[in-house]
Structure 1
Amino acid sequence: MDHPDDPETEYGFLAEALADTDADAFVHVADRFDDGLRYLTRFSGPDRPYAFAYHDGDALLFPPSLFDEQAEREFPGTTVVGYGDRSEPDPVDAVLAILADRDVDGPVAVPSAIRHDAYARLSKAGYEIETTSAVENARERKTDRERRCLESVERAAQHGLERAEAVLSEATVDGDVTRWNGDVLTTERLRREINAELSRQGVDPSGYSVIGAGPTCADLHFTGTDEIRPGESVLIDLSPRGPHGYYGDITRTFTVGSPDPWVETVYDAVLEARNAAMSVLEEGAGVRAVSVHEAASDVLSDAGYGVGDVSSGFYHGVGHGIGVSLHEGPGLTDDRELRPGHVVTVEPGVYDPDRGGVRLEDLVVVTRDGFENLVDYPLSLTPRAADSS
């Protein structure tokens, strides 16, 4: 893994975790859908269980059989314990054999997400089990390589938004219907155009292209079909995943034709809340995460929108961490200090299930003396044509 833009994992945090828990080794057993294992191994193998172990400074990967070559290419650790073309070994058996060969007889640390059968069998083999959150904690602060991964997928997401704006700007108003290329424009048609562009940019939409229109904007994860009607809000939230496993996240809200006055008023309030949250982040490392949420909440509350009421108003946290999971720590409702390398979304919104919703979302890196916004995208209700600058 020597390409400068490949993600990396530095295993020093596991040595610290073992010292903190008084454990002799760390073990994780899961499959490719476990983001913690993906972070530890950088291995994107099949959906069969495989294992990772760390002992005495060595990081070991136990891939499924027939995946040795891919594992050797992707794994940044010490050793790939391969099996060639032999029959599929049990990953727990393979780990137990290594632990025995290395005379490990003290406690073994595991993440809370380890497979239950693996936990039970390690315990049955006589190992005292210590649960640790070391992996989740390490994932929160991004390295320079991880940041480049996030930047690349965020650029791709912005290309998806550009395609959406082009379609919306070309759409025409026909009474109470919006048409594009002669047919009624729906959220599904728009999603297909966006996802095609995301694929051209080399990222996977991952089922997370959320597009709401009018009332369905109040469904925070709407991926269904709805007609896009003139003047109502069109909320577009894109969260593609790059080939390196890292997600992007960006949201903008538009209208086709003259916006409804309610949409205009809400948009202005959400934009003010977004700017208030960003102002708090300008303090940089050391600022309390929850103070970012409180700044946005105060603006929206003062503007007359309910805060915390799940029926309408602003009823979600203003942001979350992002990495190999779309949602990971830190959350911006946490009562803790932000640190350099934390990458978080800033996404205030206001929703009314009868009228629509507005959300604006950026992705920022916390620095020692401020933040850097990984999003370079205009904030406007009016969609731009494809050739607009």
Structure 2
Amino acid sequence: MEDLATNALPYDFGHLDDLMEKAGIDVLLATSKHNVQYLMGGYRFIFFSAMDAIGHSRYLPIVAYVKGAPRKTAYVANKMEGMEHANRPFWTPHFFPVAWGTRDAMAQAIKHLKAEGPASPRIGIEPGFLPLDAARDLEAAYSNAPLIDACGVLERLRAVKSPKELAMLKDASERISASMQATVRWAREGSTKKEIIDRLRAEESSRGLQFEYCLLTLGASHNRASSDQAWAAGEVLSIDSGGNLDGYIGDICRMGVLGEPDTELEDLLAEIETVQQAAFSKIAAGAKAGDLIEAGEAELAKQPNATCTDFFAHGMGVITHEAPFVMTNHPVAYEGIDRDEPLKAGMVLSVETTMLHPTRGFIKLEDTLAVTRSGYELYGGEGRGWNRGGR
């Protein structure tokens, strides 16, 4: 496929074809921004990066892929994306910058499939990311063709990251870590949660990240929403943020204190760290995904504050919760279908331990780790102890 200029793609067509075959899918229609970005090799249209609605409808990018025939792949785009293509041509052999809404985008995708696809294809879709009007048009055009949930196919395709993807995730994590440390140093007595979040947004933006969210606590409160609550001397700060670097998510949590941590605070964070390290020790290619969960939970059960502490792990990459899925409904409602499966080199995990202490507040570490053949690599690991505010 060298003539298709696909060297930069993070996936292999043969792997995609195998996944589609196992799922009983002949044609794939990807319509979520994250999977379109992935299939396009990292491209996302900046005009609709933060929102979808326009006029009476919304932006609906579509990648249409016919199993076993990459040269038939089409990208159905917004009309303005023709300018993007002129500057940096897309790899897809067919490009249709024709749409302003959902129905005209789907009409073009249907037209392309009628010309290039099988007569009665089994069509893979993303049900949660396909608007009702577009879905109805697709069903009407292929009344005898089943629509099949393809989310699992795309999750498996994204599960193992390429070296380029791993570098992006590492870079994103390091930039968030640096942003957090700078923000905690800047914050001082009287700084409000809103002001601290705004400062983190500025720090992440200055480092080339697209700010996504910040969950922040001060003092004994467990409320992580933005407010006018002010930081007081001796209080803890928990700062949990996600930042996007060219489509890849960095997501970590770090702790701060206004002043010097007392012995109790040192002990509480040490409890969190002990649980984290127990889970880390079970991460390596070939290890069962559930082993890290069992190790974290077993270590947590030994801790003095186990009754107010929770342990969790999940896969991450293009989105904050993706394959491998290692826990069930904890706290996000999905099945831990990969708990009994071996980890693979190139998978990326988020491991987090959270304490809701009744008097000292919200104490948490969240870390990003890449699975390697011999163990793991910790991304953005700086500042995992107590970061001092007002410096």
TM range (shorter): 0.7 to 0.9
Pick one of 38, 41, 54 that aligns with 2:65. 54
Letter in 1 for 2:122: P
Pick one of 372, 379, 385 that aligns with 1:374. 379
Equivalent residue, structure 2, for 1:233: 236
Find the aligned partners of 1:198 and 1:190 in 2 and give their Cα distance: 12
Equivalent residue, structure 2, for 1:38: 37
Equivalent residue, structure 2, for 1:189: 195
Aligned residues: percent identity? Answer: 21
- Per-residue CA distance 1:236-266 (angstroms, 9 max, x = gap): 1121111x11111121112112435543331
Letter in 2 for 1:365: A
Instruction: Give yes or no for the alignment of 1:129 onto 2:123.
Output: no
Equivalent residue, structure 2, for 1:348: 353
Find the aligned partners of 2:281 and 2:80 in 1 and give their Cα distance: 52
Equivalent residue, structure 1, for 2:95: 80
- Per-residue CA distance 1:171-219 (angstroms, 9 max, x = gap): 4xxxxxx2xxxxx12222222222211111111212x122211233x34
In the superposition, relative to structure 1, how do residues 352 and 82 fare at CA in structure 2: closer, same or farther (>3 Å)?
Answer: same
Instruction: Give yes or no for the alignment of 1:161 onto 2:180.
Output: yes
Find the aligned partners of 2:133 and 2:321 in 1 and give their Cα distance: 26
Alpha-carbon offset, residue 354 of structure 1: 4.8
Find the aligned partners of 1:316 and 1:287 in 2 and give their Cα distance: 19
Pick one of 144, 147, 159 that aligns with 1:140. 159
Equivalent residue, structure 2, for 1:246: 248
Letter in 1 for 2:371: V
Alpha-carbon offset, residue 118 of structure 1: 3.2
Higher strand share: 2
Equivalent residue, structure 2, for 1:63: 77
Equivalent residue, structure 2, for 1:320: 314
Pick one of 127, 144, 151 that aligns with 1:112. 127
Equivalent residue, structure 2, for 1:305: 305
Pick one of 200, 204, 213 that aligns with 1:198. 204
Equivalent residue, structure 1, for 2:17: 15
Alpha-carbon offset, residue 324 of structure 1: 1.6
Higher mean alpha-carbon deviation, 17-26 vs 143-152, is at 17-26
Structure 1 length normalisation: TM-score? 0.82
In the superposition, relative to structure 1, how do residues 140 and 226 fare at CA in structure 2: closer, same or farther (>3 Å)?
Answer: farther
Instruction: Give yes or no for the alignment of 1:151 onto 2:167.
Output: no
In the superposition, relative to structure 1, how do residues 269 and 124 fare at CA in structure 2: closer, same or farther (>3 Å)?
Answer: same
SS at match of 2:319: coil
Root-mean-square deviation (Å): 2.9
Instruction: Map 1:86-101 onto structure 2 (within 5 A).
Output: 90-101=104-115
SS at match of 1:124: helix
Find the aligned partners of 2:186 and 2:9 in 1 and give their Cα distance: 34
Higher mean alpha-carbon deviation, 259-268 vs 152-161, is at 259-268
Letter in 2 for 1:137: R
Find the aligned partners of 1:289 and 1:9 in 2 and give their Cα distance: 22
In the superposition, relative to structure 1, how do residues 230 and 44 fare at CA in structure 2: closer, same or farther (>3 Å)?
Answer: same
Letter in 2 for 1:247: I
Structure 2: runs of 5 or more not aligned:
53-58, 328-335
In the superposition, relative to structure 1, how do residues 385 and 185 fare at CA in structure 2: closer, same or farther (>3 Å)?
Answer: closer
In the superposition, relative to structure 1, how do residues 79 and 103 fare at CA in structure 2: closer, same or farther (>3 Å)?
Answer: closer
